[in-house]
Structure 1
Amino acid sequence: MEMDVTDSQSIDNIFQQVRNRLGPVSVLVNNAGIIARGPAKDLSEDEWRRVLETDLTGVFLCSKAAFSHMSNLGGGSIINVGSIAGFVGLAGRLAYTTAKAGLSGFTRTLALEWAKDGIRVNTVAPGWTRTEMVVKGLQAGLLDENVLVERIPQKRLADPSEIASAVRFFASPESSYVTGQTLIVDGGFTINGH
């Protein structure tokens, strides 16, 4: 199944298909994301809008679609996949960092509003992870793995499975009393002062 997270009708269609096949949605992971690289002065309005529509508006639309499923079940868990880009400046990624920073406020506000419906909302903010997006940046010479690893106290990029473990925690009953939080999973990158 494919879905366009910027299109409410596409989202509604997929949620209906999921309900028909598996029942109501009890866990939603908002993980769609794109990036536009380059200096802010060269960022086009179209690129800005495309990144924010996917990385932030898509989270809103999918979460809103999940609400009726989860509230009818008496609760659920929404996990947003953010980024360390929401906590540190990353030159050449203005739209992406803006969208990811916005997820923190989105997460706290939605968690506050939907707690009465039994819906928990949290964010996992990965650091440098060997994802397709990062690998493409490395291959294009836009990122330098040695430079990145030097800044990470654990001296390596994360494996995607390590991020998945944090997401799994928020989806599980083990996090039943946790909502409105952002868990940074970055090998110590954001605490490193240089």
Structure 2
Amino acid sequence: MNATADAKPGGAGIALVTGGSVGIGRAIVEQLLAQGQEVISLADRGPGLEHPRVRNIEVDLSDRAATARVAAELAARHEVGTLVHNAGVIRAALLPEVRLEDFDALVNLHLGAALQLVQAFLPSMRARRFGRIVLISSRAALGLASRTSYSATKSGMLGMARTWALELAPEGITVNVVAPGPIRTDMFHDVVPAGSEQELRLAASLPVRRLGEPEDVARAVGFFADARNGFVTGQVLYVCGGASVGTLAL
């Protein structure tokens, strides 16, 4: 079988990346641009990448009403063929201090927004019999102290992705997950100060003996988003320096 098995009627469409203004999301936008895509970035902070093929939209994806409005507007105007749901926050707390309002916010952002966006763009994907959906989970889905809300919602992505992969595979739509480990971003450094003894200790504890960079994650996303990779679906790729096969202590 040759590459024509994954040929797409009408092309691959536009790529949409959530949380695309900074960190991992920004690197994903750059990766998709390098692969020839036109990109829409949804984010609630940062100016976003300035590029002729990038459109930046400010929205709080933990707000279900705001997410619904933006999703409906974009679905009416654009054929989104690739969706990368990267937007996320941590809200770290040990079990006695976990707040339900934080838990609900992460459910809305990590799971609810993914569902709303996929539902909005699914009719177009189905009509063209092509789609690439990539959810950005976390190595913390396997468990990490102080991450009750984060781990619960990031692991929830794995179940959603497997279910969607089974439902959508006959229509040319793949659904996969990238689960990063310790990646040097502003959000990471909010928890582990840059250049600190803690950061050095963490890097030394990883099998690869270094922390990850946003581009490490972006390249993995690029693989799943590639129009030629229609035979890969329902998979989880840990981009974690080996942390998923051992223990991780921040």
**TM-score between both structures, scaled by the size of structure 1:** 0.89
* 1:1-194 map, 5 Å: 1-15=57-71, 17-18=73-74, 23-87=78-142, 89-139=143-193, 144-192=198-246
168 and 67 in structure 1: CA distance in 2 versus 1, 3 angstrom threshold: same
Cα deviation per residue 1:140-193 (whole Å; 9 max; x = unaligned)? 999921232122111111110110000011110242100111111111111235
1:162, 1:140 → 2: CA distance? 18
2:182, 2:119 → 1: CA distance? 29
1:45, 1:141 → 2: CA distance? 33
Matched AA of 1:154: V
2:82, 2:224 → 1: CA distance? 9
Aligned length: 192
Matched AA of 2:119: K
Whether contact under 8 Å (2:138, 2:179) holds in the other structure is yes
**Offset at 1:4?**
2.9
Whether contact under 8 Å (1:107, 1:122) holds in the other structure is yes
2:239, 2:93 → 1: CA distance? 25
3 and 142 in structure 1: CA distance in 2 versus 1, 3 angstrom threshold: farther
User: Which structure dedicates a bigger proportion of its chain to strand?
Assistant: 2
Whether contact under 8 Å (1:30, 1:80) holds in the other structure is yes
Greater shift after overlay, 5-14 or 164-173? 5-14
46 and 187 in structure 1: CA distance in 2 versus 1, 3 angstrom threshold: same
143 and 113 in structure 1: CA distance in 2 versus 1, 3 angstrom threshold: farther
1:20, 1:61 → 2: CA distance? 14
1:95, 1:183 → 2: CA distance? 21
Whether contact under 8 Å (1:27, 1:171) holds in the other structure is yes
**Offset at 1:19?**
5.2
User: Which structure dedicates a bigger proportion of its chain to helix?
Assistant: 1
1:144, 1:2 → 2: CA distance? 34
Whether contact under 8 Å (2:193, 2:199) holds in the other structure is no
Across the aligned residues of Structure 1 and Structure 2, the Cα RMSD in angstroms comes to: 2.3
SS in 2 for 1:144: helix
Greater shift after overlay, 141-150 or 169-178? 141-150
Unaligned 5+ segments in structure 1 are none
Percent of aligned pairs with the same residue? Answer: 34
**Offset at 1:73?**
1.8
**TM-score between both structures, scaled by the size of structure 2:** 0.70
64 and 186 in structure 1: CA distance in 2 versus 1, 3 angstrom threshold: same
1:46, 1:141 → 2: CA distance? 32
